[in-house]
Structure formats: structure tokens, C-alpha cells
Amino acid sequence: MNFTNKNVIIVGGSQGIGLATAKAFIQHGAIVLITGRNAETLQKAAEEINSPNLQTLAADTSNMNGIAKLEKWVAEGGKKVDVLYLNAAIGVYAAIQDVTEAEFDAQFNTNVKGHFFTLQKLIPHLADASSVIFTSSRVATAAGVTSSVYSASKAALNKIADVAVNELAERKIRVNIVSPGPIQTPGLLSVVSKEIQNFLASRSALQRLGNADEVANTVLFLASDGAAYINGADIAVDGGSIQYMLK
Ligand SMILES: NC(=O)c1ccc[n+]([C@@H]2O[C@H](COP(=O)([O-])OP(=O)(O)OC[C@H]3O[C@@H](n4cnc5c(N)ncnc54)[C@H](OP(=O)(O)O)[C@@H]3O)[C@@H](O)[C@H]2O)c1
């Protein structure tokens, strides 16, 4: 895969899957902007990647000011975007009876509204035949207890992606979804005990958690010329769901 001088934007790229994807794009020649809310985490990511091809921008995608900041950065740079990777999300797990309005709004503002309006504002800046990729989740089609809001936010994101496929096709822009299963990232490890990690690993046919590089590889493939006829796909990166047969 060759992304030499391709302009890539990763919304939510300072750690975990987004950071692994930034590293992979840079290894393949791309010029990458990563965003996140926390300037220190962005700085740490920049030191880790240590490449003149990496730029960072502190911008909160959950509100219109943060989105406007990103749009301004792109407009002032004057370069068309070749890959837009909408990856940021937050998850708060609670039973429906316990979810607060603030928890609901925070998840929908980041996971749905933020990506919707980032896409809207950046559409004029996307190159023709560019690639838009959303990070959803396997939980978008599951119904695990305590995941109502997070799962619903990912299901909503999937539908936005579905419609974007059709609306952007005129400009040959491809829109795809990557849906990870449990992946070892700071985001997952901060909310899930070792016991739950082992349980999640046991639910994968491969009997392990995934790592961020494995999702990054999928994103790069979807953005590459090798995926030129892949549009509207939702690719699971979850090691396969285990299926048992009763003997
Ligand atoms: N890890 C998993 O098991 C798993 C499974 C399925 C799906 N996913 C999805 O994969 C994506 C990445 O997950 P991850 O585990 O890598 O998460 P992570 O380790 O928590 O990293 C999330 C990234 O998004 C940024 N971010 C969060 N809120 C933001 C906001 N409002 N504005 C801008 N940036 C924001 C974070 O930076 P700041 O905190 O500094 O803003 C960070 O760079 C998410 O969409 C998640 O839902 C993950």
C-alpha cells in the first residue's frame, strides 16, 4: 500500500486504534493530522511517532466549536483530504434505569453528532475519489446489558455511514465502516477488569483480544487502491464470533 503524500485526518488519533492507524499511515508515506481533546496526550503521541509527516490539533469533536477548529485548520492548509477517519468515541456503561442525561448526551455528542457534523463540514474539502472510514463496533448489532446508549450510538453511526455511501458516490468518494471487537487499547483497559478481558477473549473464536495494529491494518486496506471497489462495507475485526454446537 502506498499513501505517499496523501493527506489523512484521524479524528481521535492520540491513542489506541487512532494512534496505531496514524503510525501505519505514516509508515506508508502519508501526511497525517491526528486530533484529540487532551493536548498532552497529543504531544506524547507526536513524540512517539516522531515524524515530520505528523501534525496534531487539540479539538473536541463533540461540539461545533471543536469541529469548526478542525475545518479552519483544513481550509487554511489548502490541501484536499484523501482519507478521513472518524474514530473518536466514548463509552459509559450503565443499565437503562441508571443512565443520566449527561451520560447519554456525552456519548451521542461524541460518537454520533461529532462525526456527522465533521463529515458535513469537511465534505467540501474531501478530494474526489477519497475515502471516509468510520469506526463503529460489533456492539452496534448486539444487545449487551449496560450498553444501551453506546450500542445505540454506534448503530446510529452505521446508518449515517450507509446514507453517506449514496450521497457521496457522485464524487466517487467511498465510505466504509470498521467494526472492532474487543481491542487492547487504553480506552478498553481503563474500563474493563482483567476478569472481563478474559471473558471477552473467550467469546472470540481466536480466543484472544485484538490489538490496535490489527484494526489499523484494516483501515489502511479500506483506504487503499486495493479496496477501490469496496464501498458501504462494514468489516468486523473481532477474531470471529465463537459458535458452539451441542453434541
Ligand atoms: N477498544 C475496543 O475494544 C473497541 C471495540 C469496538 C469499537 N471501538 C471503537 O474504536 C474507536 C477507538 O477506540 P479506542 O479503544 O482506541 O479508544 P481510546 O483508547 O479511548 O482512544 C480514543 C481516542 O479518541 C479521542 N477522543 C475521545 N473523545 C474525543 C472528542 N470528543 N474529540 C476528539 N477526540 C476524542 C481520544 O483522545 P482524548 O481523550 O484526548 O480526546 C483518543 O485519542 C472508538 O470509536 C471505539 O468506540 C473500540
> What pLDDT digit, counting tens, does each position of 105-138 carry?
999 999 999 999 999 999 999 999 999 999 999 9
How do beta strands 81-86 and 7-11 pair?
Answer: parallel
Q: Into how many domains does the chain fold? A: 1
Q: Is residue 197 part of a domain?
A: no
Tell whether 31 is covered by a domain.
Answer: yes
Residue 118 belongs to some domain of the structure: yes
From 158, 225, 211, 226, select the one nearest 19 (Cα to Cα).
211
Instruction: Name the strands in the sheet holding 174-180, side by side, starting at the edge strand that comes first in the sequence.
Output: 54-58, 31-36, 7-11, 81-86, 126-135, 174-180, 234-237
Flag whether 150 is in a domain. Answer: yes
3-class DSSP state for residue 214? helix
Residue 20: give its domain's CATH number.
Answer: 3.40.50.720
Q: Tell me the C-alpha distance between 14 and 19, whole Å.
A: 5
Which residue, judged by its Cα, is nearest atom 47 of ligand 1?
89
Q: Identify the residues whose C-beta falls under 6 Å from ligand 1.
A: 12-18, 35-38, 41, 60-62, 87-90, 110, 114, 135, 137, 180, 182-183, 185-188
Per residue in 27-53, pLDDT (tens digit) is 999 999 999 999 999 999 999 999 999
C-alpha closest to that of 225 among 178, 165, 172 = 172
- Which amino acid, residue 129? A
3-state secondary structure of 31: strand
* Helix pair angle (16-27, 212-223), 10° resolution: 50
Atom of ligand 1 nearest to the CA of 182: 3
CA 226 to chain centre: 20
* Length of the chain in terms of residues written: 247
Q: How many CA atoms lie within 13 A of 228 on its CB side?
A: 5
Cα 15 to ligand 1 centroid, rounded to whole Å: 7
Where in the sequence is the domain holding 215, given as residue range(s)? Answer: 7-183+211-237
Look at residue 189 and tell me if it is in a domain. no
Q: Is residue 50 part of a domain?
A: yes
Residue 109 included in any domain? yes
Ligand 1 atom 46, closest CA: 89
Each residue's pLDDT expressed in tens, for the chain with a length of 247 residues:
899 999 999 999 999 999 999 999 999 999 999 999 999 999 999 999 999 999 999 999 999 999 999 999 999 999 999 999 999 999 999 999 999 999 999 999 999 999 999 999 999 999 999 999 999 999 999 999 999 999 999 999 999 999 999 999 999 999 999 999 999 999 999 989 999 999 999 999 999 999 999 999 999 999 999 999 999 999 999 999 877 767 6
153 inside domain? yes
Of 100, 91, 110, nearest to 35 by C-alpha is: 110
Which residues are catalytically annotated? Answer: 150
